[in-house]
Amino acid sequence: MKIYSIVILLLVHQAILAQEITSNHSVKQVGETNEYNIKTTISGLEGVELGKIEYQIPDKHIYKPSPKNTYFSDRKNNLLKFYLMAFPSNGVVEIEYNIVVEEAGSVVFPVQFQYSKNDEKNKISLTSIAIDNSSSSELAVNEQPLQIKEEEKPKEVVEKVKEEIKVEKKEDAKPKPIATSTSKETQRIESTTPSSTTTKYAVQLFALAEYSQARVYAYCKKHNLKINEITTEKVNGLVKVRYGKVNSATEAQQLKETLISKGVTGVFVVKLP
């Protein structure tokens, strides 16, 4: 009886810790008889920091970006990838694009989703996209939601996440190298009570799976930020990119509001090591 009780308790504990992610694909025929609009909706992503959705689509099929899509994409080696740098508070994202299918009959495109939450890297398989290219009528397939129960600590590793930024090269303006520390990750600051002058605070902008100085420089230029105010810290394979260094959480909160007024989103206050 004791053994059965322990097993039941473990199952209940795992069910509580598991995060439920749902997804569905909408596929509709548009324009030419072999062109299709694909829209993927993923929900249950509250608290996720970074993400990447990967479609296994052979290069012979023509990818057409959609003006409704706001995520950076990468098309090569029979893969179509979308990199998600920020997530809405409701935990729902939509990725939309068009594909011209250069093959008669039915085709199937497998889909995978990788993301990072609380410094843990996860990878799951979503429902594959199935298209019947032998019919000229409008299609709407794969619309049944996929519910996935994932364990708290998957072993897969999320790949590099990129942000769509246009980098303007200037010969007379080169960014200075930014030092990267390797201490433990700093925690978010819940209180706004000023601390002593020995404690410093900053505002975390985003995190990268692989550090790129050019990308950080372009980000600062886009939002009119001072490059010399940037600091970084590598924690559990992710590089945390932060802005500013102030003496109190109140000042850090004011700095955060200033950044938000400049169009910077998804930022929060942290205590520096």
Q: What is the mean pLDDT of residues 128-139?
A: 69
pLDDT score, position 71: 87
Confirm whether 167 is domain-assigned.
no
Q: Are residues 27 and 128 in the same domain?
A: yes
In the chain, the number of structural domains is 2
Tell me the pLDDT band of 6, cut-offs 50, 70 and 90. Answer: very low
Q: Are residues 129 and 219 in the same domain?
A: no
Q: Are residues 26 and 127 in the same domain?
A: yes
Least confident among 122-126, 179-183, 258-262: 179-183
Confirm whether 181 is domain-assigned.
no
Q: Give the chain's end-to-end CA distance (angstroms, integer).
A: 49
pLDDT score, position 273: 80
- 216: domain CATH number? 3.30.70.1070
Confirm whether 50 is domain-assigned.
yes
Confidence (pTM):
0.47
Which of 107, 133, 159 marks a domain boundary?
133
In angstroms, the CA 153 to CA 150 distance is 8
Which of 114, 133, 152 marks a domain boundary?
133
Confirm whether 209 is domain-assigned.
yes
Q: What is the mean pLDDT of residues 48-63?
A: 94
Confirm whether 163 is domain-assigned.
no
For the beta sheet containing 268-271, the strands, ordered from the edge strand earlier in sequence to the opposite edge, are 180-181, 230-235, 238-246, 201-208, 268-271
* Digit-coded pLDDT (tens) for 81-114: 999 988 888 999 999 999 999 888 889 999 999 9
Q: Are residues 43 and 125 in the same domain?
A: yes
Q: Give how far Cα 1 sits from Cα of 4, 13, 98, 160, 175, Å.
A: 5, 18, 57, 48, 66
Q: Which two tokens stand for residue 209?
A: 């799976």
Boundaries of domain holding 122: 22-133
Which of 102, 133, 164 marks a domain boundary?
133
CA-based nearest residue to 60, from 95, 31, 34:
34
Confirm whether 149 is domain-assigned.
no
Instruction: Give strand pairing partners of 99.
Output: 36, 63
Tell me the pLDDT band of 135, cut-offs 50, 70 and 90. Answer: low
Tell me the pLDDT band of 119, cut-offs 50, 70 and 90. Answer: confident
For the beta sheet containing 106-117, the strands, ordered from the edge strand earlier in sequence to the opposite edge, are 72-76, 79-84, 50-55, 106-117, 120-132
- 115: domain CATH number? 2.60.40.740
Confirm whether 40 is domain-assigned.
yes
Q: What angle do CA 231, 233, 239 make, to 5 degrees?
A: 105
Q: Are residues 121 and 207 in the same domain?
A: no
CA-based nearest residue to 113, from 44, 52, 38, 43:
52
In angstroms, the CA 105 to CA 267 distance is 47
Torsion of CA 252, 256, 258, 259, to 10 degrees: 130
* Digit-coded pLDDT (tens) for 170-226: 455 555 555 555 444 444 444 444 444 588 899 988 888 778 888 888 888 888 899
pLDDT score, position 217: 86
Confirm whether 179 is domain-assigned.
no
pLDDT score, position 36: 93
Three state DSSP letters for 97-129? EEEECCCCCEEEEEEEEEEEECCEEEEEEEEEE
In angstroms, the CA 124 to CA 110 distance is 11
Q: What is the mean pLDDT of residues 49-74?
A: 92
Q: What is the mean pLDDT of residues 60-74?
A: 90
pLDDT score, position 208: 81
pLDDT score, position 76: 92
pLDDT score, position 128: 93
pLDDT score, position 157: 44
